[in-house]
């Protein structure tokens, strides 16, 4: 096996005395793992930061063998790791991607969306500008892996008007008319997810994060909840401080 491709660094695990197993998100082949010789050295460690864009070359004698991986830095986001909020956002987006995607399966929409979210975190002057994009990225992951939410019409009435909530069981939208009597049992549906555009305020963003967080924890992270969701909890706490 031989593959050379542009990739996003998502997750790292020490291997042996000096090496690192890196998991990268690629445009065509999806999530791929490879062994980086000397991956914990001073020279290579800054290249393997989550969120960095690299040129990666995977080589293996057989498909069952863990490929050897060599990398060249294309674009670094190391400067963002000195800022707690962007650092937490990059950590979460990359950790989530690495935790839930099967290796070796192409997800071009997920690659493009992750690349876009990381670029937004890097470029946006305020967190509210990229936080809504992060919520949409979480929704996309749910959809691409078969757990998409139906936010287009009310599950009870079939109406597309005044969609205010989502059923925590079915993942379907609920209208004001149908859900008023049960609102305490439903998840709020922020307007930027039902109508498009950007979130109007922080309350909408936190409603969006509660919504996606419920289904991520239930459907995709059940067995890995404590390890991966801890990164999300750090992000949400820092967003609350910034709000």
228 pLDDT band, cuts 50/70/90, is confident
| Residue 150 in tokens | 């139906």
Residue with tokens 């999300």: 232
Which residues share a beta bridge with 7? 54
Residue 214 has pLDDT above 80, yes or no: yes
Residue 225, pLDDT score: 61
Which of 26-30, 45-49, 74-78, 125-129 bottoms out in mean pLDDT, i.e. has the lowest?
Answer: 125-129
Q: Which of 241, 242, 230, 138 is nearest to 190 (CA)?
A: 138
Please name each of the domains of the chain with its CATH number: 2-76 (2.40.50.140), 80-242 (1.20.1440.120)
Higher pLDDT, 10 or 227: 10
Cα distance between residue 219 and residue 215, in whole Å: 6
Q: What is the mean pLDDT of the chain?
A: 93
Residue 27, pLDDT score: 97
Cα distance between residue 182 and residue 191, in whole Å: 19
Residue 15 has pLDDT above 70, yes or no: yes
Is residue 190 classed exposed, middle or buried when 0-12, 13-18 and 19+ CB atoms within 10 A define those classes?
buried
- pTM of the predicted model, to two decimals? 0.93
Model confidence pLDDT, tens digit, residues 193-204? 988 778 889 999
């Amino acid at each position: 096996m031989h593959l050379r491709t542009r990739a996003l660094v998502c997750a790292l695990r020490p291997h042996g005395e000096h090496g690192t197993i890196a998991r990268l998100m690629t445009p065509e082949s999806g999530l791929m793992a490879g062994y980086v010789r000397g991956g914990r050295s001073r020279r290579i460690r800054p290249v393997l930061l989550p969120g960095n864009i690299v040129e990666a070359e995977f080589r293996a004698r057989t498909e069952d063998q863990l490929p050897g991986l060599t990398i060249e830095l294309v674009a670094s986001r190391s400067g963002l790791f000195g800022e707690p909020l962007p650092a937490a956002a990059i950590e979460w987006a990359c950790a989530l991607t690495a935790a839930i995607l099967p290796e070796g399966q192409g997800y071009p929409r997920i690659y493009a969306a992750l690349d876009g979210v990381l670029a937004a975190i890097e470029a946006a002057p305020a967190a509210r500008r990229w936080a809504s994009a992060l919520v949409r990225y979480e929704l996309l992951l749910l959809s691409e892996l078969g757990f998409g939410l139906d936010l287009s019409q009310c599950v009870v009435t079939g109406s597309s008007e005044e969609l205010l909530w989502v059923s925590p069981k079915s993942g379907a939208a609920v209208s004001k008319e149908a859900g008023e009597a049960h609102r305490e049992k439903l998840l709020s549906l922020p307007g930027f997810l039902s109508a498009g555009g950007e979130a109007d305020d922080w309350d909408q963003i936190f409603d969006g994060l509660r919504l996606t967080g419920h289904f991520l924890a239930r459907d995709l992270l059940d067995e890995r909840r404590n390890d991966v969701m801890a990164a999300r909890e750090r992000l949400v706490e820092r967003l609350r401080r910034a709000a």
